[in-house]
Structure formats: structure tokens, C-alpha cells
Amino acid sequence: MAQKEIKSRLEMQDLYFPEYSFKYNKKQGKMNLTTRFNVNYAEKTDDKNQVRIELNTLIADDENSFELKLTALAFFKLNPEGLTEKEAMEILKTNTVAIMFPFVRSQVSLLTTQPGMTPILLQPINVEALVENIFNEE
């Protein structure tokens, strides 16, 4: 039985980490870390089905002894054939961030793996709720 090739409507064309900063002053005891995310979304001027997504992550503690800022930048292209404009927009705003998030989690773990420190593993998040909150604030 021949298998039919299934191609995704959404294609990640590029992803990289253009910027990060990391500050760690080793202290005794458990750090109380908080994590914040921000998403910047931009459509290509001549093609609204191509987008640039910037996912900014900030992890910091209350006592200012730990701070990690990480920027992930990705470019996506959507084949909108058969989709309504609302469906296409939802895919471009939500699915893109969901695709990027595992890469961000991995990068955070890599950056925080060092002697004397327990690596940080970001927990999975509800990307739909995150994106909804961010775009409702605009």
C-alpha cells in the first residue's frame, strides 16, 4: 500500500536565538524563580501568510541573584488554501509559538547547565492561553 505524502500547511523557514543574557550570583538555598513570556508578531508587508515571531523569555528570582533573558526569532509561512482568514490568523499566532516553545525550553536548559547549578527545565505551558493573553493586552 503506497503512503500518501502529508505536508503541513505551516512551515518554519528559520529559527535562531539572536540575543540572550544570563546573570547568576550563586547563593545558598532554593531560588524563587518567576517566568514571563512576551510575543511580538509581524506579518510580511507584501504577504500576510508569512510572519516573523519573536518570543522573549525572562526568568528571574526575587532577590536579583538570577536573571535569564532569551530571545527566539522564527519565520513561518502558511499555505492558507481552504482556510478562513480567522483560521489562518489563529494558526499564525498560536501554532507558531507552540512550535517554537520546545526550542526555547531546550535552550534554557542548555544555558543553565553548569557546575553547581540545577538546570532549569521550563514546564509545558498552555500556549493558546499565553497567546490570547498577550494579544488581548494590545
Say whether pTM exceeds 0.85: yes
* pLDDT, one tens digit for every residue, the chain (138 residues): 667 777 789 999 999 999 999 998 877 667 889 999 999 999 999 998 999 999 999 999 988 889 999 999 999 999 999 999 999 999 998 999 999 999 999 999 999 887 777 888 998 888 888 888 877 765
In this prediction, residue 96 carries a pLDDT of 95
Distances (CA, A) of 76 to 6, 28, 68, 130: 18, 43, 26, 19
Best CA proximity match to 111, nearest among 2, 19, 7, 13: 19
In this prediction, residue 1 carries a pLDDT of 61
Sheet containing 10-24: give its strands across.
10-24, 66-78, 47-61, 33-44
